[in-house]
Amino acid sequence: MYNYIDIFAGVGGLSLGFDMAGFNNLLAIEIDKDFANNYMLNLQGHKMLCKDIKQVSKSELDALIGTSIVDVVVGGPPCQGFSLAGNIGRTFLDDPRNMLFKEFVRIVDLTKPKMFLLENVSAMAKHNHGKTLNDIEKEFEKLGYTIKHKTLNSKYYNVPQDRSRLFIIGEKGINNFDFPLEKQNIISIEQAIDDLPALKSGESSNIPNHEAMHHSTQMLEKMAYVKDGGNRNDIPLKLRPKTGDARKYIRYNSKKPAVCITGDMRKVFHYSQNRALTNRELARVQTFPDNFTFVGKNGKIQQAIGNAVPPNLAYELALKIKEALDGKIPKN
C-alpha cells in the first residue's frame, strides 16, 4: 500500500479519493479549524495537523511521519495573486500572496515523495502566456521531478458538474504517469440529486445537511420566473437585477451537469424547486457520499464543499498514480 500526505487538505476531497483507490494517509495539514474538524469527523483514523503550513518544520514533519515512506504528496494551494506576474520582470512566485506554492515545493523537498499531485485553477495554464506554469514546474524540476500537466473537466470523470481544473503531476526521474481517459457517461444534476426529498424555502429534512436556506419574498418572486436552465433574462425587467455576476440568478439545467460549484451558490437555483441547493445537494454534485456529513455554519460548509476536489475525480487520478508507481504503464 502506498502512503500519501495531503496538504491544504480542506475537508478531504483529495484524501477521500486516494483512500478509495487504496492509498494510506500518513498526514493531512489544514490551517482552517472548521475545515480540519470536518476532515477528522469523516476521515477518522487519519492524522490531522491543524496549523499554518509555513510554520511546519522538518523536525515536526519527521516526528509526525516517523519512519514511513512518503510515496505521494497531494494538495491544492490557494491561488490569490496573478496580478504581479509579468510586470517589470516579476514572476508569479515573486508575489507574496503565492507563497503557498513555495510551501508546496518546500514540503515536497522535505518529504521527497516518489510523486506529487498539485491542483489549481485552470486559468493558471495560460496565465502570462504559459510562463507562470513554466516557472512553477521549474521549481520542481530543480528537485529532480519530471512534470506533466493537464486541465481536466470533472464532468468526464463520473462527476455531475462542469468543473475545469489544472492538475500538475510530478514524478522522480522519468514520468510514467498517464492522465485518465475521459468517460462518455455524462451525469446530469437531476440524476445526481433528484431522489432527495423536495424542500421549500426554509424547510429541513431528516437527511444530514439537506436543509433549504430561507429566501426572502423578493428573491422567491424573482427566481419563480427563471425556467429550467434559464437565467436572469427570464425575470421581468421591473424585477430583474441590473448588475452583478452573470453566474447568479440562473437555474441549473436538469439534463446537464451542474455549473461549477463554488463557495457561494445562494443565487443559483434548483432546476425544479424554488430555492438554492442544500449543502447535501452540493456535496452530491461534488461526489461526496451521503455518509460524509458536515458541521458548522451553513456558509462555511458551502465554502468547504466548493473548495474541494471532487472525490470521484481524485479517485481516477489516484488510480493512474498507482499505475505509475507500480510501473504498470498501460499501452496506448
Would you give the DSSP letter of residue 270?
Answer: -
> Partners of 146 in the beta sheet?
171
Candidates 312, 320, 321; CA nearest to 16 is: 312
Give helix 131-141 / helix 99-111 axis angle, nearest 10°: 20
| DSSP one-letter string for 215-242 | --HHHHHHHHTPPTT--GGGS-TTTS-S
Q: How many helices (H) and strands (E) does the chain have?
A: 10, 9
299: its cell numbers: 456558509
79 is catalytic: yes
Q: Are 221 and 293 in contact (CB under 8 A)?
A: no
> Can you tell me the distance from the alpha carbon of 110 to that of 301, in angstroms, rounded to the nearest whole number?
32
Beta strands at 268-269 and 250-251: parallel, antiparallel or unpaired: parallel
Going along the chain, which residue ranges are E strands? 3-7, 24-29, 48-49, 72-75, 115-121, 145-153, 164-172, 250-251, 268-269
The answer to whether 77 and 70 have CB atoms below 8 angstroms apart is no
Cβ 53 vs Cβ 33: under 8 Å: no
Angle between helices 298-307 and 33-42 (to 10 degrees): 70
Catalytic residue (choose from 26, 28, 72, 79): 79
CB atoms within 10 A of CB 293: 17
Known catalytic residues? 79
